[in-house]
Amino acid sequence: MTEHTSAAPMPAPQGKVKGWLHEYWISVLSLISFIIFWELICFFGLVSPFQLVPPTEVFEVFIEKWYNPNPDGAILPVHIAASLGLALGAFFLAIVTGVPLGLFMGWFKSFRFLVRPIFDAMRPIPPIAWLSLAIIWLGIGYGARTFIIWLAAFVPCVINAYIGITLANPVLIRVSNVYGASNWETFWKIGVPSAIPMIFTGMKLSLNAAWTTLVAAELIAASEGLGFLIQMGRRIARPDIIIVGMITIGMAGAAMSAMLSWLENRFASSRSL
């Protein structure tokens, strides 16, 4: 009689789990220590309350701003919605314009020679430097703010799409040519899929650039938005309002970045070559 034996199950990687938990708790303790240190500095009066307020007060103001429009005239959800609409609108516009431009520059040599010198000349100019021209061209409304954020988000989209398509596998390109595919067909079926990972990297950088430029853009005659909230806190010497705006910007930015990473994991790995 033959005795059948089954392989023992693989043990769980306990070392990796313990290492992750160890790093997690170090991070948590570091954050708690920072908050306690911040609270003690304010409690003992080492800084003026007009310069810094304790985290407990910041938390109270954060909760209050969800239903109280004072002192800036709008509740926090209104500011968040205004900033998201502005930043995401400019971000999607940057994707629509920047990604195709980068792909065409990387694949078609004649187009690259035509466009790249202009792009390279304008790329080093900070988006804020365009502020005065944006006001002259588009006024002090929504268009000028969108233009400034679009400029910040546009460059990473172009650069990463350009680099991504230049990394396309030359063997696949030669095979495509051997089988009679046109340059346009090779571009769509080999070049673009190869560039997808770098395109998503550019989108992450673009989103970060758009969100970090938000405060400066909302200097242009804004009446709501997180940047406007921070500016109002500065004008009335309310550091609690300023910190609430900063924390909200950080939380919203982290949430959008996590969502973009999820989309990358879902689509990029299955569609890239």
> Which three-class secondary structure string do you get for the chain?
CCCCCCCCCCCCCHHHHHHHHHHHHHHHHHHHHHHHHHHHHHHCCCCCCCCCCCHHHHHHHHHHCCCCCCCCCCCHHHHHHHHHHHHHHHHHHHHHHHHHHHHHHHHCHHHHHHHHHHHHHHCCCCHHHHHHHHHHHHCCCHHHHHHHHHHHHHHHHHHHHHHHHHCCCHHHHHHHHHCCCCHHHHHHHHHHHHHHHHHHHHHHHHHHHHHHCHHHHCCCCCCCCHHHHHHHHHHCCCHHHHHHHHHHHHHHHHHHHHHHHHHHHHHHHHHCC
- 45: alpha, beta or left? (left if phi > 0; alpha if psi -120 to 50): left
101 within a domain of the structure (yes/no): yes
**Segments forming the whole domain that contains residue 36:** 16-46
Instruction: Map 132-196 to HEC letters.
Output: HHHHHHHCCCHHHHHHHHHHHHHHHHHHHHHHHHHCCCHHHHHHHHHCCCCHHHHHHHHHHHHHH
pLDDT of residue 220: 80
Domain check: are 29 and 81 in the same one? no
Q: Give the mean pLDDT per block of 10 residues along the chain (273 residues).
A: 47 58 79 92 88 92 93 92 93 96 94 92 90 88 91 95 92 86 89 92 92 85 87 91 93 89 74 49
Residue 18's pLDDT is: 63
Q: How far apart are CA 254 and CA 245, in angstroms?
A: 14
Residues 37 and 81 in one domain: no
Based on the domain organization, do 107 and 34 belong to the same domain? Answer: no
What's the number of domains the chain is made of? 2
We report the CATH number of the domain holding residue 184 as 1.10.3720.10
Residues 109 and 238 in one domain: yes
Q: Same domain for 143 and 223? A: yes
Report if residue 140 sits inside a domain.
yes
| Confidence at residue 217, expressed as pLDDT on a 0 to 100 scale | 87
Do 130 and 28 reside in the same domain of the chain? no
The predicted pLDDT at position 114 comes to 93
Burial of 37 (0-12, 13-18, 19+ CB in 10 A): exposed
Task: Please give the pLDDT value at position 25.
Answer: 83
- Please give the pLDDT value at position 7: 47
Same domain, 95 and 179: yes
